[in-house]
Amino acid sequence: MIKLTMIKEILQIGDPILVTKTNPVKDTQSTEVKKVIRDLLDTCHKNADISAGLAAPQIGYNMSICVCRRVDLEAKDEQLDEEKLWTVLINPHVVKESHKNTLEWEACLSIGRGDDNLWGPVERPKKVTVNYVDIDGMPQTIEAIDYFGHIVQHEIDHLAGVLFISYITNPSNLWRLVDLNNYIDKNDSYPDIE
């Protein structure tokens, strides 16, 4: 059987849907929801070399669904199949967050393509607890820490219409991917934060 995949175009900043709060999903098992999840996963697989996650509004759907890459499991060298590598969160909510913050460099597939993809340092709670509904319609809880925690919070922000650049008060902290890579090659570290 031929498996048809649907790679969606990733919408770019300036599109109003990216700054619009999404609607919660009512019927998680509907055909429409399953199609959105399939499109999100197909688009993540296609962009696997540059993607850490994706939210439904980024491919044009006003729905509270996102996909997060399990970088925490990858870091443990676990052999992950595609299903385990990408976790689908439906109607996710942060129910608990640590007082301690961590800083990570983030980027977003909706903010610049290729060399022009923008990166910047973002401070977020180090650890969050998130309630969500999984693809089978079952309520779940996940704890997300450090870089994985940033991914989960970044994607949940998308569902509220919030982009990571909102947290960057000084534009001189935003770097184009190509310039950031050159800087890191030369200095063996990320740039100082202004």
Chain contacts with Zn ion (rule: CB under 5 A)? 108
Identify whether 155 is a catalytic site residue. Answer: yes
CB-wise, 108 or 133, nearer to Zn ion?
108
Please tell me the distance from the alpha carbon of residue 15 to that of residue 161, in angstroms, as a whole number.
11
10 Å Cβ neighbour count for 44?
22
CB-wise, 77 or 114, nearer to Zn ion?
114
CB-wise, 59 or 108, nearer to Zn ion?
108
Name the pairing type of β-strands 175-176 and 118-125.
antiparallel
CB-wise, 112 or 191, nearer to Zn ion?
112
- Minimum Å distance from CB 158 to Zn ion? 6
- The angle at the Cα of 12, spanning 88 to 129, to the nearest 5 degrees, equals 30
- Minimum Å distance from CB 108 to Zn ion? 3
- Minimum Å distance from CB 139 to Zn ion? 25
Find the catalytic residue in 9, 32, 155, 194: 155
Instruction: Provide the token pair at 112.
Output: 């610049």
Please tell me the distance from the alpha carbon of residue 130 to that of residue 144, in angstroms, as a whole number.
8
- Minimum Å distance from CB 40 to Zn ion? 12
Listed in sequence order, the residues at least 6 apart from 182 whose beta carbon sits closer than 8 Å to its beta carbon are none
Q: Give the catalytic positions in this structure.
A: 155
